[in-house]
Structures are given as structure tokens and as C-alpha cells.
Amino acid sequence: MVSVWDGLGMGWSPDRDALRGRVAVVAGATRGAGRGIAAALGEAGATVVCTGRSSRTGALRSDYDRAETVEETAELVTDLGGTGIAAVVDHLDRVQVKDLAEQIRRDHGRIDVLVNDIWGGELLKGGPAEWNTPIWELDLDKGLRILRLAIDTHIITSHHLLPLLIDTPGGLVVEVTDGTADYNASRYRLSVFYDLAKVAVNRLAFSQGHELKPYGATAVAITPGWLRSEMMLDNFGASEANWRDALAPRAGDNRPPAPADFALSESPRYAGRAVVAVASDPDRSRWNQKSVSSGQLASEYGFTDVDGSQPDVWRFITQIRERGLEASHDDYR
């Protein structure tokens, strides 16, 4: 079962045992979509190895100077009903990732779900004022760092961890990116480097799906919509509890209001519930090599975000905004 209904007509709620006994690895679980995915796997009862560089130990340095740690994510997983395990790993370091694979083999013997969510390029891509800058005017070192963080990390991780996933049929690999393959194919995404990074991750799911199919495993690319990550909420001076206030700041607040489409934003848990839905589906192989959004999967499986809604900003963008039409945001959540 992917989900349960509460019997009182109140709507969808997670199945706390949907992934009980499954072993998942979320690579890049410190914050944002990675933390949300780890949390959703936890609320489905999974054992989740949460990796990242930001740690209470200070052993590694993240590209972000932020307070979130991978240990906090692991604790959240446990609090939600799963078993969270923190692993401090730099996924650009082949030795560290190889050591991670060996540790997982010793402790668990296998991986049932691998989520490649490693990113770290949010500051490097810059803000709106820096988008649409031609490649010859961009900082080359920053651009190449974006590619390393977004592509090399995923490839290194798959190289070392996929042997643990193919031993038993039914494994799932999720590549997390921004924009589906169909959407990105006809639209330029911010800059040459960002565009290439996000397109490549979609293609990586396609390629891995080809290689995994003979082993009875599935690879799918999943994109969140407008993600209310910790960094995004900080940018608008809001929290998850009062994120709607960012649409209409109070008098005296010097921050500009969030764009109107922020009304269709989603919590990181929403993408996580998308991952759980696919992982829980006995027929998940139908998604092999596909590229889908959290909103598409919510429509397919019926799960909701933490507020009970089903936001689908990508559908709103393509059906309404890009056509210059008007519609209520409420119709798309």
C-alpha cells in the first residue's frame, strides 16, 4: 500500500509500514529535497542512510555555510517512524563513497532504494540578475564546479552503490533534478552550466534504467516543483509554518513579497512522498527511464503535501503562465 485513508473522510495519510524493512540511501540528505525525501522514507518505515557533508562533527566543508546537518536529518527520519543513519560523505571523493558502499554492505547487505539528490550549486548559479548571462561572460571555474557537483557526484555514487542494489530484483534508483526531460528539452534553464547539469541528470536516469532493466531494477528522474527549501524560506523571511505570509509581507517588513506563483510551492516532503509512492508500487518498473514531477506522481498515486494539497506548479506554468492566460492558483493545488 502506498497510502491509507483515515476512515473519517479526512483524506490521505502515509502508510507507516509501506517500506518497513527496506534499506534506502539518500545521497545529499542534509537539507532541501534530500531531507524531505529522507523524512518521507522515514514516515513509511524505511531504514534510511542519510549522507552529506554538513555535520555536527565539522569533519567536512559544504559549499553552503548553513546550520543544517546530516545528523538532524537522520534524527528526523527516526522521529517519523523509520531508522535514520547519518553518514558524513563528500560524494566527489571516490574513496569516501567506496567506503560508504562497503559499510552499507557490512551493516545491511543491500540497498533497495538509492536517491541521488546531491547538488550544492545553489550559490554558484546565482540569482535572477545573473541568469541568461552568456557562457563567455560567466565565471568558468564556478560553471565547471556546478557540473562537478551536479553530475560527477551522481555518477560516482551510482558507480559504487549500484552493485548493492542489483543483487535482488526490485531495486529503485531516483535521480533528483529540476524540470522534466520533456520540459527542459525545449526551454533554456538559467545558464549553459545549469541547463546542462539538469538535463544531464534526467538523461542519467534514462541511461541507468537501460542498464538496470536486466536486473529487475528501475531508474526514474523526479523533479520537485517550486521547493520550499530552508534556503528558499530564508530568502523570503518565512518558515514552513507561515510560508504563505511571504506572499503578502506585513507592514514594516522590508522584504519584497514572493512572486504570486509561490502560492504553488511545495514542501520538501512532497517530493519525498513521490519517491515513496514509486518505491511502494509493485509495478514501479512502468516508470523505468521516465522523467516525472512530484505533481504528476501525486495525481497518479493520490498522496498529498503536508498541508493536504497537491500543488503542481509545472502544470500551471505550461498550461497557464507560458500561454499568457489567467487562472486561480487554487485550481493547481
Q: Is the separation of the CB atoms in 76 and 48 below 8 Å?
A: no
How far, in Å, CA of 231 to CA of 235, rounded? Answer: 6
Predicted local distance difference test score (pLDDT) of residue 257: 86
pLDDT reported for residue 7: 38
Can you give the pLDDT at residue 254?
Answer: 73
Whole-number pLDDT of residue 255: 76
User: Which residues of the chain register pLDDT less than 50?
Assistant: 1-9
pLDDT at 150: 97
Instruction: Give the whole-angstrom CA distance, residue 321 versus residue 314.
Output: 10
Share of the chain above pLDDT 90, in %: 89
| Predicted structure pTM score | 0.94
Rounded to whole angstroms, the Cα distance separating 72 from 327 reads 39
What is the per-residue pLDDT across 59-116, written as a single tens digit (0 to 9) for each?
Answer: 998 999 899 999 999 999 999 999 999 999 999 999 999 999 999 999 999 999 999 9
State the Cα–Cα distance between residues 303 and 326, nearest whole angstrom. 27
- Domain layout of the chain by residue ranges: 3-227+268-322, 230-265
Helix axes 268-280, 32-43, angle to 10 degrees: 50
Task: Kindly give the residue spans of alpha helices, DSSP state H, lying in the chain.
Answer: 32-43, 70-79, 94-107, 122-125, 140-147, 153-161, 181-185, 192-212, 230-235, 268-280, 294-301, 313-319
Radius of gyration from C-alpha coordinates of the chain: 19
**Homologous superfamily of the 3-227+268-322 domain (CATH):** NAD(P)-binding Rossmann-like Domain (3.40.50.720)
Residue for grid cell 520550499? 228
Of 151, 261, 227, 155, give the one whose Cα is nearest residue 195: 151
pLDDT of residue 252: 67
- Give strand pairing partners of 14: 3
